């Protein structure tokens, strides 16, 4: 056992120094600047991520770095809605105030590169996947190791892969004449906060736990209220013959975790989630960035993005 008797402290100190050394290799031999850059970028990234994902990412950090990451965290204000790269970099620059002038773009990329090298691959891809495209494309992912045992070009393989090859066909549906009590019970059974509403095989809407809370309970409606009275008729969906990469990009941009899948004549045939896309997929700046972002118990609602029809 190390002389100080606390092995975990020795290990986290060593790891933290490795991270700082890699940042200094790009920004210059000033450990204080490297530490400030690491802290500034991590806190800016933290504030841009959904709360659950921010916590998961924080759990991957070395103990010392984790302290800087959580410093001045106010989860109630998350996530920051900055969608452009300049705005993201401006927030980093604000947190760098008080040190010698450095190039904020170089500092941010240096830190993001370190995260790509040292954090769990899945956590990095989840984080990147929630970011708007300009910030996502700025993140250098060359440090993430490739998936083992694959000699085929995964970029080519994914570009030809269609939604119907990855979607889940066994979909739990709500009927417009069902009661919200029945739908809520189904949501609890499958640990989901959203269900497609279909009349036969025709997709006519979505119902979420938020719809039930706001449009039914908050309005004094009872458990026997029909789904058609509270569902959201505007639906985001994708087509079964669309490329996975395109759909994944769109899901990342509007920050939804799953989409109904329909045929070109708008008949419901399945549902696609980011977990489905992630399963078995390898590195690529578009699809890979979204890998594994959806988990049971996580964010399920389509709410949070504009109402649109992907692929229309």
Compute how many other C-beta atoms are within 10 angstroms of the C-beta atom of residue 94: 11
pTM of the model: 0.47
- Percentage of the chain exceeding pLDDT 90: 27
CATH 1.10.490.110 domain position(s) in the chain: 7-138
Fold classified for 7-138: Globin-like (1.10.490)
Distance CA 287, CA 283 (A): 8
Q: Residue 292 pLDDT > 60, yes or no?
A: no
Mean of per-residue pLDDT scores for the chain: 78
- Residue 309: Cβ within 10 Å count: 13
Nearest Cα neighbor of 178 from 228, 233, 212 is 228
Query: For the segment 1-17, what is each residue's pLDDT rounded down to a tens digit?
Result: 344 445 667 777 888 88
Band (pLDDT 50/70/90 cuts) for residue 252 is low
Tens-digit pLDDT profile for residues 254-271: 667 778 888 888 788 888
Taking domain 154-290, whether its CATH number is 3.10.580.10 is answered by yes
Domain with CATH 3.10.580.10 in the chain: 154-290
Q: Per-residue pLDDT tens for 105-150?
A: 999 999 999 998 888 887 788 888 888 888 988 998 754 443 333 3
> For the segment 195-245, what is each residue's pLDDT rounded down to a tens digit?
889 888 788 888 989 899 999 999 999 999 999 999 988 777 888 988 887
CA distance 42 to 28: 19
Q: Considering only residues 70 and 147, tell me which one the structure prediction assigns the higher pLDDT.
A: 70
């Amino acid at each position: 056992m190390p002389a100080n008797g606390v092995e975990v402290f020795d290990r986290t100190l060593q790891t933290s120094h490795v991270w700082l050394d890699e940042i200094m290799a790009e920004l210059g031999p000033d450990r204080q600047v490297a530490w400030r850059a690491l802290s500034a970028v991590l806190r800016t990234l933290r504030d841009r991520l959904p709360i659950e994902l921010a916590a998961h990412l924080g759990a991957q950090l070395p103990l010392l770095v984790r302290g800087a990451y959580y410093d001045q965290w106010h989860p109630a204000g998350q996530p920051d809605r900055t969608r452009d790269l300049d705005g993201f970099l401006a927030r980093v620059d604000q947190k760098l105030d008080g040190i010698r002038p450095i190039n904020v773009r170089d500092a941010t990329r240096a830190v993001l590169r370190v995260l790509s090298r040292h954090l769990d691959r899945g956590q990095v891809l989840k984080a990147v996947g929630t970011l708007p495209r300009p910030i996502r494309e700025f993140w250098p992912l060359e440090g993430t190791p490739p998936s083992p045992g694959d000699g085929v070009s995964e970029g080519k393989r994914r570009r030809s892969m269609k939604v119907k090859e990855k979607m889940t066909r066994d979909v739990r549906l709500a009927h417009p004449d069902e009661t919200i009590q029945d739908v809520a019970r189904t949501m609890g059974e499958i640990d989901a906060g959203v269900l497609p509403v279909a009349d036969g095989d025709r997709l006519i809407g979505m119902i979420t736990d938020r719809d039930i809370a706001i449009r039914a309970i908050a309005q004094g409606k009872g458990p026997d209220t029909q789904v058609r009275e509270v569902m959201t008729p505007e639906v985001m969906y994708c087509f079964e013959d669309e490329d996975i990469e395109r759909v994944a990009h769109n899901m990342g941009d509007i920050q939804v975790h799953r989409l109904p899948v329909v045929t070109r004549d708008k008949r419901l045939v399945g549902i696609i989630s980011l977990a489905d896309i992630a399963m078995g997929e390898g590195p690529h700046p578009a699809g890979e960035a979204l890998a594994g972002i959806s988990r049971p118990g996580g964010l399920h609602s389509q709410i949070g993005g504009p109402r649109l029809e992907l692929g229309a």
